[in-house]
Copies of this chain bind each other. A is one copy, B any other.
Amino acid sequence: MIVKTQYVTFDQELKLRSGATLGPITLAYETYGELNADKSNAILVLHALSGDAHVAGRHAASDTKPGWWDEAVGPGKAFDTNKYFIICSNVIGGCKGSTGPATVNPKTGKPYGLSFPVITVADMVDAERLLIDHLGIDKLLTVTGGSLGGMRALQWAVSYPDRIRSAIVLAATARVSAQSIALNEVARQAIYADPNWKRGDYYDGERPNVGLALARMIGHISYLSETSMREKFGRLLQEREQYGYEFNTEFRVESYLKHQGLTFTKRFDANTFLYITKAIDYFDLSLGLSSLAEAFRNVTAKFMIVSYSSDWLYPAAESEEMVRALLQNGVDATYVEIKSDYGHDSFLLEVDRLGGLTNDFLARVQKPHPAPKHKK
């Protein structure tokens, strides 16, 4: 499956939750499959912190790696491109083609850097709605994603209840916990501490890659589970037989993390890391309300919520809280906790089990309403 990233620029100012405005806005996006005649088969896939518009397939036959969720999106897969028209776009604040802190601000001719306004998950969703308008789609069959993608699926249901028929929320939370904020803040502090960061004004010099790699390593630990790390690495040493009694990388888990940190710096922008983690920390659908249930009062979409047993970043209990709040509003909500040792990353990896669930769920969403039952 060869795909091409497309770009659309909206020459308008988006009003942000902070009160600031952002514009013009360019969104990078990709589509897969065909939009049907009545435009009823469109699915918006929402990426997580480090993702992008390139969810599946390859940009060229020579690409060594496919998109970030190729296991789940494609012909016959969990999100079947033979049946559905799949859309995925890079978030605003991102660094993969959509307008973000590394973008040149047309008003100054320089990259935004920290003059880029702080954005929220709701702002990201507002920008995604511009894209759905642009594609001429009135109502999405579903919005789906894991982690930050799941948060945006929730936000879509709250911000635009009339524009989606369903939402599939994976490994997410409706209000980010103190522990998650703590991990994100320490990761941001690692970037701030890099002398190359220069308060975000580094685009014409050395990048704050040491800080960004540290930030990624901190994040990465939270994406795995104790069990998966034990099974994958245990106490194995890397390319040595015994302890070296020195401050080098010795354990395989150390080597793995360093590699993860390093490769991340080659594909990601440190300022985007700051903006996206800040948006995550701000995410609290119950903000200013008396309860989470109140946040869902206008929701009409059918919901499928999936948590993963070993996810300690957004643990199952937080999905259960969402489900209870949805059910209090009479929302048609299905909840599944998948047993998995892969931690938060399970949403990317446990794709086979997800496939069965999404097939059944989407079939039910598409089924015409049953005739109302009459009492005898």
Interface residues of A (CB under 8 A from B): 17-20, 114, 117-118, 175-179, 181-183, 185-186, 188-190, 192-195, 210-211, 213-214, 217-218, 221, 224, 226, 229-230, 232-235, 243, 245-247, 249, 251, 253-254, 257-258, 274, 278, 281-282, 284, 312, 315
Contact = CB atoms under 8 A, between A and B. Distances in A.
A354 to B, nearest CB: 25
A226 B312 contact: yes
* Number of copies of this kind of chain in the complex: 2
Contact of A188 (B224, B245, B247, B282): B247
A251 B114 contact: no
Given A20-B245, A284-B235, A257 B186 contact: yes
Contacts of A114: 247
B189 A217 contact: yes
A206 to B, nearest CB: 13
Nearest to A315: B226
A19 to B, nearest CB: 8
Given A247-B114, A312-B312, A178 B232 contact: yes
Nearest to A221: B182
A74 B336 CA distance: 51
B118 A246 contact: yes
Nearest to A211: B193
State the 3 A-B residue pairs at the shortest beta-carbon distance, nearest first.
A18-B245, A178-B229, A118-B245
Contacts of A221: 179, 182-183, 186
Contacts of A274: 247
A258 B181 CA distance: 13
Nearest to A231: B178
B312 A178 contact: no
B278 A181 contact: no
Contact of A193 (B118, B193, B234): B193
21 contacts: A117-B245, A175-B235, A177-B230, A179-B224, A179-B229, A179-B230, A181-B251, A182-B217, A183-B221, A185-B253, A186-B257, A189-B214, A189-B217, A190-B190, A190-B193, A190-B214, A192-B247, A193-B193, A226-B312, A226-B315, A247-B278
Given A114-B247, A176-B235, 10 more contacts: A18-B243, A179-B229, A179-B253, A182-B217, A182-B253, A182-B257, A185-B254, A193-B194, A214-B214, A226-B315
Nearest to A118: B245
A103 to B, nearest CB: 18
B175 A193 contact: no
Nearest to A184: B254
Nearest to A195: B195
Contacts of A189: 213-214, 217, 258
A319 to B, nearest CB: 14
A217 B179 CA distance: 12
The listed residue with most B CB atoms (<10 A of its CB), out of A230, A245, A278, is: A245
A118 B246 CA distance: 6
A93 to B, nearest CB: 12
A315 to B, nearest CB: 7
Given A193-B210, A210-B193, A245-B118, A226 B177 contact: yes
Contacts of A230: 177-179
Given A186-B214, A214-B190, A181 B253 contact: yes
A312 to B, nearest CB: 7
A226 B222 CA distance: 12
A51 to B, nearest CB: 22
Nearest to A254: B185
A251 B185 contact: yes
